[in-house]
Amino acid sequence: MSSDNDEVYVPFAKRDEWRDIEPIKQDDGPNPACPILYSPEYVDAMDYFRAILKSQEMSERALQLTTEIIAFNPAHYTVWHYRRKLLDSIDADLREELCYISRVIEENIKNYQVWHHRQEIATRLNDPSAEMEFTKQMLRQDAKNYHAWTYRQWALTHFNLFGRLREDGLGYVNDLLEDDIFNNSAWNHRHFVITKTKTYTEDIIDEEVDFTLDKVTQAPNNEASINYLRGIIKHSSRPARAFEKAVNVCTELSSEDTPSPLVLAFLLFVNEDTLKGEDDATEVEKACAFKTANKLCDRLCEIDSIRKKFWRHKQNCLHSRIK
């Protein structure tokens, strides 16, 4: 019987197909400190589950029992694990199981166990044809869902799907960023796709810098795009100051009456990079970088007061480096 509220629950003891099973009660010890208040239906189903788990029964009724328990508690990893053993043992229709887990995920989109079960079923089927569209559907519900993104990245890598997608997968990312430029999950996925499909040549880095700068100018207070810009530049063998377009764009944005602290922080990053002395920066360039960085710290203390102590700390580090 289903656990849906609009159907009458029939206890397992009154079901003909379960009369041969002796249920096993949960043993919480003689004096449980804080017993969990399970529903009577869930207690009943779990009592019978313990019995089939003990006997390792592999049958259609056992599979149906796991379906009922999952309806009560879709996060029960032991039940999911046993369900997979059942599927393998009774040679169940895995296509039907994929449809089943799709329905369960739709109702429990932020549940670790349901996504893992789908991964196991997709692996057994060795057929990824439905996975990209399914994750798209789930991300339409929540574009920043960690579980859906993790699963999509697993499927892309496990089945090597990049070549089957528009722009090797970047097309979908671009669509998401058009819808929501602040979608940090989409920015993360962009880095993932590029890492898996390309090497960070200087040409690719320049392309990504140009792409990101366009987004930065649209929303200077977007931490996701600024962080992505910094990350891309760190992949280059060139010093940060060599990215003149990025420096110029952010310098122009910093001239506004109330500039974005993120833009100022990026410029600070550029000047700190010059002061590290890991390239051929001249002493004049380093002196100029120190002066600029010092002013940026002062400005950040003014407009980003909640992090004032942090920016003072950064400023003190600058002075210690010079000494």
Give the residue numbers marked as catalytic: 110
Residue 97: closest CA among 77, 138, 67, 74: 67
Contacts of 56 (CB under 8 A, 6+ apart): none
The count of other CB atoms within 10 Å of the CB of residue 129 is 12
Contacts of 280 (CB under 8 A, 6+ apart): none
Per DSSP, the residues of 135-171 read HHHHHHH-TT-HHHHHHHHHHHHHTT-GGGSGGGGHH
Residue 264: closest CA among 317, 303, 322: 303
Q: Which residue has the tokens 């060795």?
A: 126
Rounded to an integer, what distance in angstroms lies between the CA atom of residue 295 and that of residue 110?
45
Rounded to an integer, what distance in angstroms lies between the CA atom of residue 273 and that of residue 279?
9
Indicate left, alpha or beta for 169 from its phi (over 0: left) and psi (-120 to 50: alpha): left
Contacts of 29 (CB under 8 A, 6+ apart): none
Cα distance from N-terminal residue to C-terminal residue, the chain: 77
Environment class of 171 (CB within 10 Å of its CB; exposed 0-12, middle 13-18, buried 19+): exposed
317: its two tokens: 């580090």
